[in-house]
Amino acid sequence: KEEKSLNFIEEIIESDLKAGKYTSIITRFPPEPNGYLHIGHASSICLNFGLTNKYPGYTNLRFDDTNPVTEDTEYVESIKNDIRWMGFEWKNELYASDYFDTLYGYAIKLIQSGLAYVDDSTSEEIAALKGTPTEPGKDSPYRSRSVEENLTLFERMKLGEFPDGSRTLRAKIDMAHQNMLMRDPILYRIKHAHHHRTGNKWCIYPMYDFAHGQSDAIETVTHSICTLEFVPHRELYDWLIAQLAIYPSHQYEFARRNLNYTVTSKRKLLQLVQEGHVSGWDDPRMPTISGLRRRGYTPESIRDFCERIGVARRENMIDVGLLEFCVREDLNKKALRRMVVLDPLKVVITNFPEGISEMCHSENNPEDIAAGNREIPFTREIYIEKEDFMETPSKKYFRLAPGKMVRLKGAYIIQCDDFVKDGNGEITEVRCSFIENSKSGQDTTGINVKGTLHWVSVNYSVPVEVRLYDRLFSVEDASNQEGDFKEYLNPDSLHVITGYAEPALTEAVEGESFQFLRKGYFAKDKDSIPEKLVFNRTVTLRDTWAK
Ligand code: ATP
Ligand code: MG
Ligand code: MG
């Protein structure tokens, strides 16, 4: 395997290790449990866990659960499940909410040092004094409160004496600071809300900036990796660590990963779920890890995708074609082959006896001899795809047409003798004869045919529900369009049809992936019941991604 060049975060870590700054590293993956993980999170997971697989050290899973209103244990469970499914294991399962007491102590310490104050202003009043990037802000009238008064008020905030939004705790930095986030940022807000872990113990909650870096420091995280929108927060991150004299974690930023024809924002994905545009977080059209899994994506294919897109410093849009390429590559190696006719046309083999079946054999996976063979019953009446017959074929059409021969995969060469049309001119039946001694594997005819078709026996085939998916949105970047992003949903993102499967497919287990010959990769869906199997099309076979 060729040596891969280091990404910029690996370069930083290697030089830190070389300089002896650290002997091992600690990273963390810090999801807020307010939704299911999506493909963007997958990239952050691969990065954080990948680094500590490569270098000495470990990765924590830390739930960034400082906003009680939107968070839920359902999300906590799904996040843990998805990370494990991706193939990673965390060292410690941690919660920012476990640090609420410590964080409260840090706040007291800042107040005592004259570096924080209780502000009675409303959020509108605070915003009005914030200034602009080119104009300094103005001091709040509450900025010069005494340490004692601040301590008392902050304690009364904690005791629940004040309503939501009536007071905040703010850092006392500089209202004229170049970085707007340094203009006395809010550290705590009042929220009388039930928290999924701390219950009703707290009615004040720390803001992101007063929780994240402090949690990193408590866990002695060495490299705290986040996305680019946090670049302006780094100054505050460092300031708080310095003032509190706690462990000096460092923040590094990389570009968010966006995939075209979908949205990667939990807030938007939640809307799709709540408003019923999709069947749930794991709808196979969703870019969530659980949706991709249900669709038939493998952990290997998602990790390969994350590896290929790498770590960038500038935001860009990734073509979903690359993700599809990765899953094709993986499933081509692993998926068993099965024949399923999605749009049936009956073919009668007129010289094959009625009422009997003959077993044919075909390889389960030509890429993997060890996968063995399977039996497929051949009978007088079979189905082929409608598109595999043409009354008047074009020159390059190597499928079935009057007078033409094709091979039926794993079975005989057949020749088309005739066809039947209904009153509307629609072809309803094709009549063929099979060529003796042409059976696959024991063909002595010497006949060379160009086309091989998939087929199933009419009598022995099993109807299955097949769900064909298309892109969830009809534009590449629905988040950056005029109006509501939901106006750009693709109205044709799901087609449900009945396919006719060879009997071996009934042995499929939930989640198992198959290549339906010539049709694509499909995974058995959890909605399957013994009387009706359901398959999701993961991806078509056609490879449009240029390597
Ligand atoms: P969303 O905007 O979807 O809610 P978020 O950033 O608020 O995402 P978090 O749960 O806070 O979601 O994210 C956990 C981690 O995953 C963070 O470190 C975050 O930077 C990272 N992450 C989230 N979305 C992406 C993305 N699109 N690309 C790369 N990393 C991401
Ligand atoms: Mg977040
Ligand atoms: Mg967000």
Domains of the chain by residue range? 8-254, 259-336+464-539, 340-454
How wide is the angle at C-alpha 126 spanned by C-alphas 122 and 132, nearest 5°?
155
Q: What is the ipTM of this complex?
A: 0.95
Q: Which ligand is nearest to the CA of 208?
A: 2
- Nearest C-alpha neighbor of 461 from the set 495, 493, 500: 500
The torsion angles phi and psi of 512, rounded to 5 degrees, stand at -70, 145
Rounded alpha-carbon distances, angstroms, from residue 252 to 229, 247, 313, 410, 516: 11, 16, 10, 56, 45
Which pTM value belongs to this model? 0.94
What is the sign of the dihedral through the CA atoms of 281, 284, 288 and 293? Answer: positive
- Nearest C-alpha neighbor of 437 from the set 446, 426, 428: 446
Confidence (pLDDT) at 545: 44
The answer to whether the beta carbons of residues 127 and 140 sit under 8 Å apart is: no
Atom of ligand 1 nearest to the CA of 48: 18
Confirm whether 259-336+464-539 and 340-454 share one CATH topology. no
Residue list for the binding site for ATP: 32-34, 227
Report which DSSP code applies to 279. S
How wide is the angle at C-alpha 72 spanned by C-alphas 66 and 74, nearest 5°?
140
Pocket of ligand 1 (CB under 6 A): 30-32, 40-41, 43-44, 64, 226-227, 256-257, 264-267
Atom of ligand 1 nearest to the CA of 230: 20
Ligand 1 centroid to residue 203 C-alpha, Å? 26
Residues 6+ away with beta carbon under 8 Å from 178: none
Ligand 2 centroid to residue 33 C-alpha, Å? 9
Domain 8-254 falls under CATH 3.40.50.620: yes
CATH architecture of 259-336+464-539: Orthogonal Bundle (1.10)
By most ligand atoms within 8 Å of CB, the mutation choice from 36, 43, 44 for ligand 1 is: 44
Q: Which ligand is nearest to the CA of 263?
A: 1
CATH architecture of 340-454: Beta Barrel (2.40)
How wide is the angle at C-alpha 18 spanned by C-alphas 14 and 21, nearest 5°?
95
Ligand 3 centroid to residue 40 C-alpha, Å? 11
- Amino acid (1-letter code) at residue 330: D
How wide is the angle at C-alpha 121 spanned by C-alphas 120 and 126, nearest 5°?
140
Mean pLDDT by 10 residues, the chain (547 residues): 79 96 98 97 98 98 92 93 98 98 98 98 97 97 98 98 98 98 98 94 97 98 97 98 98 95 96 98 98 98 96 91 97 97 98 97 94 97 97 94 97 98 96 98 95 97 98 95 95 98 97 98 97 97 58
Q: Which ligand is nearest to the CA of 228?
A: 1
The Cβ of residue 235 has, within 10 Å, a number of other Cβ atoms equal to: 16
Q: Where are the beta strands (DSSP E) in 356-489?
A: 358-363, 373-378, 381-385, 405-408, 413-421, 427-434, 452-453, 456-457, 462-469
Tokens of 366: 């030509």
Catalytic residues: 32, 256, 266
Residues 6+ away with beta carbon under 8 Å from 304: 326, 329, 330
Report which DSSP code applies to 546. -
